[in-house]
Amino acid sequence: MMTALLLFWPALAGILVLLIKGKGAKTVAFVAALVEFAFALFAVSGFDTLSAHAQFALNLPWIESAGIRFSIGMDGISLLMVLLTTFLIPLIVLSSFKHEYRSPNVFYALILFMQTGLIGVFVALDAFLFYFFWEVALIPVYFIAAIWGGANRVPVTFKFFVYTIFGSLFMLAAFVYLYFQTPGSHSSDVNTFYQLPLDAATQSWIFWFLFVAFAIKMPVFPFHTWQPDTYTESPPQASMLLAGIMLKMGIYGVIRWLLPVVPLGVSQWDELVLILAIIGIVYGSVIAIRQHDLKRLIAYSSFAHVGLIAAGIFTLNEQGLQGGVIQMLSHGINVVGLFFIIDIIFSRTQTREINNLGGITQTTPALSIFFMILMLGSIALPLTNGFVGEFLLLSGVFQYNNWFGGIAGLTIILGAVYMLRMFQGVMFGTKTANTDNFTDLTLNEKAVLIPLVIMVFWIGLFPNTFLSISEPAVGNLLNIINR
């Protein structure tokens, strides 16, 4: 029941928000998102961290004749993802308070509708239900980006939309095929899929059908071309939703619906995927160094970081997978924080060009500290959240292949280069015309950044709080994969 509550509460709240005209909409949306977070914390408190199985499960008939069921539940990995989503959405809503969007009721309702889609993806235990929420999460964010975005938003978001749907249709085709391989009167339950005795040749092509869908969403090189433009043209909240939570759908999809379902397919292609992911790491980082637009820079850095997560997951060892899970949390927190800081800078200076910025530290002690912590978290400095994830991921990749590990390790050096270059250009140096009257953080902005920074240190200092939640589930998945 808990899961169902988590799933439907945002949608119901969204409908309520839709009916509120004027400024009340954002407050109601914020309160609703906070309540949702409280539900998630309540779920954590009742969660048995020793069990690898889906908890708070609910299993109802949906399309009875076809054996398709409305089956939801959370194991450790799902719970962490739900926790991340419910933690970030109130902050994303709060971060938008400084803007006056037109038709605010629609804007905030769409964010809440998207939350239902995201939670649905993370808790679905039925393949078609998963696909259903996968698309349901996409539509609101497409509209948010395409209606409230920048000047060039229409073609850019359109490309994003068609591109991702194109990928997911292949996933649908693969699910339909798998569904018909299930014994008896067919079922699309996740555990039934895990037990399918498919031969290696079949798994090989199903792997690609599924992988394309997830790789576009993450994105993995060379499926990333939609990403930088979309992040840049979207309004800040949509960028946060896309980078902070939505790309985790792709990674989560790999963990839940690709690795255990077609393990033989994975063993045929894992090396290629690792190579692609590592190309992405280096390529994304190098391009990020060359960027002048802050948002594009973060977009490419996000692309590089996700490459490392993908590489770690496909090593199929515990470090890699655990590192991937914890790094999803860290990346979500850091990237939302960084996008928010860019938004703060942009709303005061009307520019995102590094060349037009500088000297902001002189008047803004609070902003400088928050920015620095988030940036260091992103570089993976020890004691910050990024360190834990990247350390585990890299040790996973090293176990797989030393060469791969060595090249993937470049991410830390290159990451430091582009992040420090950005920080230096924006915060230090002499003041420019744009940054002359730069004021420090308001209360509202602090309210967004403080929770994020707390989480940076929490994950950095006590990663076990989170690692222990996902550990049994990851172990269970590895058992299934290596069976």
Partner 1 sequence: MTSIILLSVFGIANLFIGFLKSKRILLPLALLFLVVVFGVNLIGWNNTQTYFNNMLTIDNYAVAFTGIMTLSTLLILPFSQHYLQEDDQNLAEFYSLLLFALVGAIMMVSYENMLMLFVGIEILSIAMYILAGSDKRSLRSNEAALKYFLMGAFFTGILLFGIVLIYGATGTFNVTEIGTTQAMNDGVMNTMFVLGLLLVVIGISFKISAAPFHFWTPDVYEGTPTLFTSFMSTVVKTAGVAAFYKLMVAAFAASYATWFPTLIAITVLTLVVGNIGAVVQRSAKRMLAYSSISHAGYLLMSLIAFNERSDSSILFYSFAYSIATVAAFGVMKLVSDQRGDETFEGFAGLGKTNPLLAFAMTVSMCSLAGIPLTAGFFGKFFVFAAVVEASGLMWLVVVAVLMAAVGIYYYFKVVVAMYMHPAGNYEKVQVNSFTTFMLMLISALTILLGIAPALVSDLI
Q: Which positions lie near partner 1, rule CB under 8 A?
A: 62-66, 128, 131-132, 135-136, 139, 143, 146-147, 153-154, 158, 161-162, 165-166, 169-170, 172-173, 176-177, 179-180
State the nearest-atom distance from the C-beta of 161 to partner 1, in Å.
Answer: 7
Q: Nearer Cβ to partner 1, position 56 or 128? A: 128
Q: Is the bond into 451 cis (omega within 30 degrees of 0)?
A: no
Q: Nearer Cβ to partner 1, position 140 or 236? A: 140
Q: Nearer Cβ to partner 1, position 87 or 132? A: 132
State the nearest-atom distance from the C-beta of 136 to partner 1, in Å.
Answer: 6
The DSSP symbol for 331 reads: H
State the nearest-atom distance from the C-beta of 242 to partner 1, in Å.
Answer: 18
State the nearest-atom distance from the C-beta of 16 to partner 1, in Å.
Answer: 18
Helix (H) or strand (E) holding 55: strand 55-63
Q: Nearer Cβ to partner 1, position 68 or 412? A: 68
Task: Judge residue 375's burial from the number of C-beta atoms within 10 Å of its C-beta, 0-12 exposed, 13-18 middle, 19 or more buried.
Answer: buried
State the nearest-atom distance from the C-beta of 130 to partner 1, in Å.
Answer: 11
Q: Nearer Cβ to partner 1, position 163 or 346? A: 163
Q: Nearer Cβ to partner 1, position 19 or 31? A: 19
State the nearest-atom distance from the C-beta of 66 to partner 1, in Å.
Answer: 8
Going by C-alpha positions, the residue among 304, 306, 367, 309 that lies closest to residue 338 is: 367
* Residue 63, strand partner residues: 68
Q: Nearer Cβ to partner 1, position 8 or 428? A: 8
Q: Nearer Cβ to partner 1, position 64 or 100? A: 64
State the nearest-atom distance from the C-beta of 8 to partner 1, in Å.
Answer: 12
Q: Are 89 and 35 in contact (CB under 8 A)?
A: no
State the nearest-atom distance from the C-beta of 162 to partner 1, in Å.
Answer: 5
Going by C-alpha positions, the residue among 463, 472, 479, 466 that lies closest to residue 54 is: 472
Angle between the 365-379 and 443-461 helix axes, to the nearest 10 degrees? 30
Q: Distance (Å, rounded) from C-alpha 249 to C-alpha 80?
A: 12
Tell me how many helices (H) and strands (E) the chain has: 20, 2
C-alpha distance from residue 44 to each of 66, 87, 324 (Å): 34, 13, 20
Q: Nearer Cβ to partner 1, position 153 or 296? A: 153
State the nearest-atom distance from the C-beta of 155 to partner 1, in Å.
Answer: 9
Helix (H) or strand (E) holding 93: helix 76-95
Going by C-alpha positions, the residue among 305, 311, 223 that lies closest to residue 275 is: 311
Q: Does the CA dihedral 74-477-462-444 come out positive or negative? A: negative
Q: Residue 125 has which token pair? A: 């235990």
